[in-house]
Amino acid sequence: MFDDTNQSSELLNNDEAFELLQDLGSNTSEDIRRQRAHFRLTVKVAVTLRPGNASEMLTMKVKGVTGDLSQGGCSALFPIPITVGDIFRIEFDKNTIDLPMAFARCVRCRLIREDAYEAGFSFFKPLCLPETLAEQPASTLLG
């Protein structure tokens, strides 16, 4: 299966691979931000994270706080590392923001300090953010 080099060369030739690597190497964090599909708001909202599978829902419950939020995803801070690739239920604090529970895949997790991990999530369905959210002063959004 993996010994067949002809199959892999059919998928991506050397020129295409070289161009992709050059493009990847030239991306800066600002370039990546510009390519995002949705506008992000800096919002501090308490969240509860649980496994996405109903059979595992009671095996884990982690509380965290968002750093930013968009229709397509969010970033949040948690006291433990979140497994990249896994699917989770994210419940937002209803006292702060009126959003439904969302299913999301963890797309990144990085150590901020020994007791804090920043995780990025991609929602399976876009969330409809309240129109008033963008109009609120940053001080009320950030707690």
pLDDT of res. 63: 96
69 and 94 share one domain: yes
Question: Residues 6 or more apart from 54 whose CB is under 8 A from it?
Answer: none
| DSSP-derived 3-state class of residue 19 | helix
54 and 116 share one domain: yes
Please tell me whether the overall predicted TM-score, pTM, comes out greater than 0.85 for this model.
Answer: no
55 and 30 share one domain: no
Question: Residues 6 or more apart from 66 whose CB is under 8 A from it?
Answer: 43, 44, 45, 47, 74, 75, 76, 92
9 and 50 share one domain: no
Stretch 31-46: mean pLDDT, rounded? 67
135 and 98 share one domain: yes
Cα distance between the two ends of the chain: 54
Range of the domain at 15: 5-34
In percent, the amount of the chain with pLDDT more than 90 equals 48
CATH at residue 81? 2.40.10.220
Q: Mind listing the pLDDT tens digit for each residue in 73-124?
A: 999 999 999 999 999 999 999 998 889 999 999 999 999 988 899 999 999 9
137 and 88 share one domain: yes
- The tokens for 92 are 């937002």
30 and 78 share one domain: no
45 and 13 share one domain: no
